[in-house]
Amino acid sequence: MLRETAFSAAVGLALLVVAPFLFDDIYTLTVLTIYGLLALSLGFIWGFGGILCFGQAAFFGLGAYGFAIASINFADPWIAALVSLIIPALFAAALGAMLFYGRLSDVYLAVVTLVVTLILFKFMNSTAGSAYKIGDARLGGFNGIPGFDTLTLPWDSSEYLINEYLYYFCALVLLLAYLSLRWLLTAPFGRILIGIRENELRAELVGYDVRLVKTLAFAIGGLLAGTSGMLFANWAEIVTPALFSLSQSAEIIIWVIVGGAGSLLGPIVGAFALGALKFFLGQQTLVNNLFVLGSILVVTVLFLPRGIVPTLTPFFRKRRRGAKAVGQGKRGRSSRRRLRHAR
């Protein structure tokens, strides 16, 4: 397991370093990386915890708004970043505790999380007056919050974290999140979470606190989504209520379904592929963006129900085992030839 994790870290790091040289638009590449982290947050709780959350955009928006508000009220943007991570994590933990200890079924849980997102969307749109402010930060209603300080370089507070610096920071966060979740899923907590997904009643009868485990997993998903929101705020340099919109929530689910909810890599691949397609379609007016995404979702559900990555993984594993067997056969024949020569 350690060897596989090290190999994944090396490959991931190499891809993230090489990506800017293969992708001309560093601005788009950065937001695709942020989307990958957002999709990973849902892929973890849905694919491995069996928790279908339609409100992942709520934590995404809270992370973005939390950073903007804290950045205006605090002098140090890195303190604002820390605050923006705590807010969605605590909100997800509180919401998860109410849902899971209330023993809501999967359907009702999905509906409640969606309603929470829509409530936040409606509320943030109605905060245009001067009375709606937190400290020195005015919420701004549908116009959002612009003009806040973004992250700076740790070794130079006068230099902002933009362009290549911001991309590499986002890529590093994504890689660390992926490796952390991969390690977590091999730990006892991850094994229990998967066991709950497979048979919740059996896990509860064995003696595990199912509601606590699901609440913690939900909080981790909220933390990752909030982190992606914080990074998005630094990328866009403005936050608006559109972050809580229904279309944003739907896109996250489509990314995960297309990439594959049963793996950690699948949601990232889905977010990168569909995110890039979205930006490409945004440059033309011939085909509607939502029509294309909906068509891809239907085709994926019909012909690749497990998603792209889980479907292709057995094929590549078979190829790797075949190549390994061929290599071992060649080494065996070479050893026999050396033995005959020695005789």
pLDDT in tens, 240-271: 999 999 889 999 999 999 999 888 999 999 99
Higher pLDDT pick, 305 / 184: 184
- Does the pLDDT value for residue 341 go beyond 70? no
| Rounded Cα–Cα distance for residues 106 and 113 (Å) | 11
pLDDT tens sequence across 129-149: 888 999 999 999 999 999 899
- What one-letter code names the amino acid at 246? L
Both tokens of 66, joined, read 């939390």
pLDDT tens sequence across 207-239: 999 999 999 999 999 999 999 999 999 999 999
- What one-letter code names the amino acid at 45? I
DSSP-derived 3-state class of residue 10: helix
Minimal CA–CA distance to 36: which of 264, 230, 282? 264
- What b/e string do you get for 101-121 counting C-beta neighbours within 10 Å, with b at 16 or more? eeeeeeeebbebbbebbbebb
pLDDT tens sequence across 148-192: 999 998 888 888 998 889 999 999 999 999 999 999 999 999 999
Cβ atoms of 161 and 149 within 8 Å: the answer is: no
Q: Report pTM.
A: 0.90
User: In angstroms, what CA-CA distances link 222 with 39, 189, 253?
Assistant: 11, 17, 15
| Rounded Cα–Cα distance for residues 278 and 219 (Å) | 29
- Does the pLDDT value for residue 95 go beyond 80? yes
Q: Which residues pair with 146 in a beta bridge?
A: 238
Could you tell me how far CA 239 lies from the centroid of its own chain? 19
pLDDT band, very low/low/confident/very high, at 94 (cuts 50, 70, 90): very high
- What one-letter code names the amino acid at 156? D
Indicate the average pLDDT of the chain. Answer: 87
